[in-house]
Structures are given as C-alpha cells and as structure tokens.
Structure 1
Amino acid sequence: MKLEDIEAFCNVVDQGSITKAADIMYVTQGAVSKRIKTLEEELGVQLIIRRSGMRKVELTAYGEEFLVLARQWQALSNEFHGISASSGIHEITIGSVDMLNCFSFSDLYNQILREEKDIRLYMHTMHSREIYAAMEAQRLDLGMVNRLLPSKRLKITRLFTEEMYIVIYPCGKQGETIDPDDLDPGKEIYSRWSDEFEIWHDQLWPGKRYRMHAGTSSMVPYYLTEPGQWSICPASAVSGMMSRFHFESLKLSVKVPERTFYLLEHRSPRESRTETIERFKKIMYAYLKEHKPQL
C-alpha cells in the first residue's frame, strides 16, 4: 500500500470530489481515480460510493473506517520524516506562495541560513489551495498563503498587508502617479492576485486585453522587455524586481485592492516540530516588524 494512494484518498475526502482533489494535487482526475481503485483492490472493499449525478463524494462504511486509519498513517509518516538524520538539526517544512519565497521573505530565509545554523529549512512553492490541503494532511509544518479558505483543522492568522504598484519597463516616469487610461492594456503582463483584484481589474480594463497572463510573480520581470510593458505587483515584489532589473515603479491614481498574506498552522501540530515552529515564528515576526514590506 503506497502513501501517495492514501493521500489521494484523504484529498478526495477533504475536497469533496475527485476533480477538486486532482486540481490541488496537479494530476489528472484519471490518476486520482486509479489511486483510489488501487486502494480498494488491495483492501478488497469499496471505499467510495459511485453514483451518477453525485455532487459530493460519499464514503461507504468501509471508507469511513479506513479514513481513520489513513489519517493515522499520514501522521505516522510525517513523524518518521520529522526525525532528523543529523543530531542537533531542527527541521521545518514550509509551503508558501511564489511571491513570498521569491521576493518578500527571501532576505528572511537568507538570514536564517546565516544565523540559525541548527535549523534546516524545507521550502516548497505552492498555490494557496494546495498549501491548505498539505497543511490539513500535516505534510507541512507552516503554510503562507494569499487566500482565505475555510478550515476546521487550521489556525489562520493575518501576516501582513501591502500596497500594489505599477512596475513598468523604463519610460521616464519613475516616482509619478499614472492614470489607468495612460496604460496600454495590450502591454500588460497580468497576474491574478485575488478574486477582489480580478473584479477590480476587469472593471478598469474589461475584455482580458492583457498581453500575457503570468501564473507566478517570479515570471513577471522576465517578460517586461519592451518600453511601455507593465504589471501590477505588491510592494515587496516591485522592490525585489527593481533591485535586480532596470524597471520603474509608479502609483495608480485610483485605489488598488491591497494584498494580504496569511499564516496557516495546524491546530494539533506534530510534537517533534512544535519547538522549531515557534522558533521560526518568533524570527519571522521580528523580521516583519523591522522590514515592513514597502517601496
């Protein structure tokens, strides 16, 4: 019996459908169905009720019984991984959205690498929904996301909020405010920062006229290569881009929805990681107090 098959089963239960489980696992629906079928064949029982028109997955009595064991199996696997092979090394596994890993917290992680010699970081760049699922399954010790989603197993705390700016290929207007009408929608490298941001953006520039949709913030600077090309990004991302690339920053003349990030913690964290989690949080909050994201 493979752990990935058990995790697929738990994800289907957590997400309520094979389709949603496949989305957060970044595999096909067929791959998830195959893993569930493999489990059922190995156990010799049916775990999931299959009926046309069902909107949400329902478990059989065997499925309910197996779910308890599957959760225990996941927790035990995590405990094994939590035992460090090197004496005196404290490990922590963190899942974060791309922007925090590449821009906002890159200096924080470098600080830990320099000053906290006994902490070993396991860093993963993931989408918010994927982080929620991994945190609930305790495959991560901490998660940092940009979306609020309901979860009974997780404690969710606001980390920080920052303003949004225009980052633009040099056009001689650095430090000025720019009107939306002065930006060419056909030269935008667009990132969907949140549901609220998307609604706001589509009201100003309807019709999805942007030149490119960038799936991650770290992609943006590599496609701002011609005069007038622009993107809307959080302050810390713009600051990071300007330190490495020859871009300019501008403020929009209209209010832009701010960007908020959240910390995810499991309500019953693994005992072997509790001390390291609290230590990391203390370092992180001290860093945020001293380095509030801004231009």
Structure 2
Amino acid sequence: MNERGMEAFTAIVMGQTLGRAAELLNLTQSAVSHRLKDLEAELGAILIDRRKGLKAIRLTPAGQDFLPLAMQWQELHGKVAGFASKVPAHALRIGSVDSMNNHILPPLFQALRENEPPVFCEVSTSNSAVLYHKIESREVDVAFVLQELHFPYVAAKPFTRERMLVLRTGRDNLPEEVRAEDLEPRFELRFPWASPYQLWHDRVWPPEEVGELSVDTLLLIRNLLRDERQWAIIPESSIPFMLERNLKVQALIPPPPDRLSYKLTHRYPKSTTVEALEILDHLITKLDFVNAYAGLL
C-alpha cells in the first residue's frame, strides 16, 4: 500500500482542506495532491470530490467506504512506529537451570544491562534437558545447563567448574572436613545433580540406604535443613545464599566430582542475535566465570 498516499488522504480528511492537510504534513499543496492521485491510481477509485466551489472536502462514495480502512491503517501505523522505537538494538532470550539463574548468572545479567549498548534479556528457568530442546528449536538464544548432552544443532561449551560441599546445621565447632561414613544417608536432603555425581553418590552411599526426602531446588534445602543430623551436598556458588541462615559448610572426604556447567547456543544462530552473543561472550571472559569459584573457601 502507498503509505505516503494514505498519509495524504487521512490528512485531507482531518484538515478538511488541501491547504490545511499541507500544513499538517509540512508539504506543499501540490505535493499532497500528487500523493493523493498516486493512491487513487493504485486503488482504481476517486476518493475526494474535486469539483470547484466546494469550501470543504467531500468524500466520494468510494472515499466514504475507504475512510474506515484508512483510519485503521493510521492507528496501526502509529502502533508499529511506536513499537519499532522501543525495540532494543540487542536482545537475548536466556534460559538456565534454577540454581544458576539464582546463584551464578545475576552478575552477568547486570553486566549485560549496563553494557553500552545494553543487551536486553528475557530470562526463563527450565531443566537441562528441556533447555537443549529450546535451543534447538530456537525458543531461547543461549542457555546455561548442568549436563552435556548431544544434539546435532546445539553447541555446548564449558562455562563454570566448582566444588561440591556438605551443608549442615548446628554446632559452631564443626571441623572443616567430614568423612562420608560420618554422615547418615537417611538424613540427607538429596538433590538430583548430573550423572557423574549420581554415579559417585551411589558408590559412596548404597541407594537402598539413602533417605526418602528428595528436593529439586536449593531454596527447599535452605528451608528444610533444621535437624543437626540432616545434611545436603551443594555447589560452591550457593554458599553465600545458604550462609545467610547461619548454616555450616564442610569439605567432604572422599570429594564428590566437581559440578560442571555448560553454555549452549544454536550452531547456526539467528543473524539478529549474533552481535548480542558476541557481547555476551566478551562479558563472560571479562567476569572470568571459569575461575569464579576457585578458592572460595
């Protein structure tokens, strides 16, 4: 559709004269008239009655029929223009597992917001397997997960590495280390960490001896850990959150395997996200997530 002609037609209707329409559009009357003629030629219909002696414009029957459509176009055109002015230059849809969204990624989200130009983020939470599918289907642009799976169109790169430590409540004089045989498996608050951890766990504590309480968020561990006999195994990144409740942390012997996380992107990212992903990678390097938890305790 001839946008300039539509603009001229609605201005003529609102201004009621060709001169007033020219003022509204900051054009000459001849320019307005030319645009209107182009629109009428495209539509194959005369919209404005141009007979001499008329003090104000008069719509032809075709013009009367077309006017509601023109007004709808005017409204929609304004909404589109307003939307376009608000669309950020850079935007990313980011997916992550719960523990990383809460305890690892906030500094990255803040850095993306403060970057110049800023990268606007839409953040969502899912489990690792779901996030692989969301990356492959392009529902999210980048994801942070705790498992390395194989999807043909998903690129996975190591992101963080951190120790797993024992969390307990009770005495202030707990030693810095605790042996696995000193922890009663039936009092564990179990979290389903990745496969290497589960294999290690089953070797240290036979599955038939473990407790019945399994949780899927670290917040639940924080809220449920009340009894001195209870314990849980958590990643280093969650320690500041847990210590807000004055809980105690110990190194475990034998040590669990480190918790690894991975950054996922599509092997063929959308062209609209390439620059934002480059900014993301620059900030990840700058914030040094690979070594973020070395020597935390």
Quote the offset at 1:217 in angstroms: 2.8
Unaligned runs of 5+ in 1: 1-82
Distance in 2 between residues matched to 1:208 and 1:108, nearest whole Å: 40
| Partner in structure 2 of residue 139 of structure 1 | 139
Superimposed CA distance per residue, residues 175-211 of structure 1 (whole angstroms, 9 cap, x where no aligned partner):
5110112112222111121112112112222215224
Q: Secondary structure at the match of 1:213?
A: coil
Shift, 1:285, TM fit: 2.3
Q: Is the 8 A contact 2:160 2:291 kept in 1?
A: no
Q: In the alignment, what sits opposite 2:253?
A: 253
1:25 alignment partner in structure 2: none
Q: Verify: 1:212 aligned to 2:205, yes or no.
A: no
Aligned CA distance change for structure 1 residues 196 and 291 (closer, same or farther; 3 Å): closer
Quick one: which amino acid aligns to residue 168 of structure 1? R
Corresponding residue for 2:282? Answer: 282
CA contact (8 A) 1:171 1:228 kept: no
CA contact (8 A) 2:112 2:120 kept: no
The one-letter code of the counterpart of 2:221 is: V
Task: Decide whether aligned partners of structure 1 residues 86 and 174 sit closer, same or farther in structure 2, where only a CA change above 3 A counts.
Answer: farther
- Counterpart of 1:184 in structure 2: which amino acid? E
The alpha-carbon deviation at position 86 of structure 1 amounts to 1.0
Residue by residue over 1:13-58, the C-alpha shift from the partner in whole angstroms, topping out at 9 and shown as x without a partner, is: xxxxxxxxxxxxxxxxxxxxxxxxxxxxxxxxxxxxxxxxxxxxxx
Q: What's the secondary structure of 2:288's corresponding residue?
A: helix
Tell me how far apart the structure 1 counterparts of residues 126 and 237 of structure 2 sit (CA, whole Å): 19
- 2:159–2:289: 8 Å Cα contact kept in structure 1? no
Residue pair 1:175, 1:249 contacting (<8 A) in 2 also: no
Indicate the residue corresponding to 1:230 in structure 2: 231
The amino acid of 2:267's aligned partner reads R
Partner of 2:97: 97
Taking the aligned partners of 1:211 and 1:117, their CA distance within structure 2 comes to 50
- How has the CA–CA distance of structure 1 residues 265 and 201 changed in structure 2, closer, same or farther, with 3 Å as cutoff? same
Is the 8 Å Cα contact of residues 175 and 251 (structure 1) preserved in structure 2? no
Tell me the CA shift for residue 276 of structure 1: 0.9
- Give SS of 1:283's match: helix
* Distance in 2 between residues matched to 1:85 and 1:188, nearest whole Å: 53
Contact kept, 8 Å, 2:159 with 2:290, in 1: the verdict is no
Match of 2:182 in 1: 182
In the TM superposition, 1:1-295 aligns within 5 A as 86-114=86-114, 118-174=118-174, 176-206=176-206, 207-242=208-243, 244-289=244-289, 292-293=292-293, 294-295=296-297
The residue identity in structure 1 corresponding to 2:106 is S
Contact 2:186 2:209 in 1 (8 A): no
- SS at 2:273 equivalent: helix
SS of the aligned residue for 2:86 comes to: coil
Contact 1:180 1:252 in 2 (8 A): yes
Taking the aligned partners of 1:151 and 1:247, their CA distance within structure 2 comes to 39
Inter-partner Cα distance in structure 2 for 1:150 and 1:97: 18
C-alpha distance in 1 between matches for 2:287 and 2:131: 23
SS at match of 2:210: coil
Q: What secondary structure does 2:261 align onto? A: strand
> Which range moved further: 177-186 or 209-218?
209-218
Calculate the TM-score normalised by the size of structure 2: 0.65
Residues 121-146 of structure 1, C-alpha deviations (whole Å, 9 max, x = no match): 11111111100000000011101111
Aligned-partner residue type, residue 180 of structure 1: A
Cα distance in 2 for partners of 1:111, 1:228 equals: 41
Look at both structures and tell me which one has the larger radius of gyration over its CA atoms: 2
Amino acid at match of 1:226: D
SS in 2 for 1:198: helix
The two structures, once aligned, show a CA RMSD in angstroms of 2.2
**Shift in Å at residue 250 of structure 1?**
0.1
- Give the TM-score taking structure 1 as reference length: 0.66
Inter-partner Cα distance in structure 1 for 2:111 and 2:222: 24
Greater CA drift, 84-93 or 161-170? 84-93
Task: Provide the secondary structure at the position in 2 that maps to 1:92.
Answer: strand
Asked if structure 2 preserves the Cα contact closer than 8 Å seen for 1:143 and 1:264, the reply is yes
Partner of 1:41 in structure 2? none
C-alpha distance in 2 between matches for 1:84 and 1:186: 58
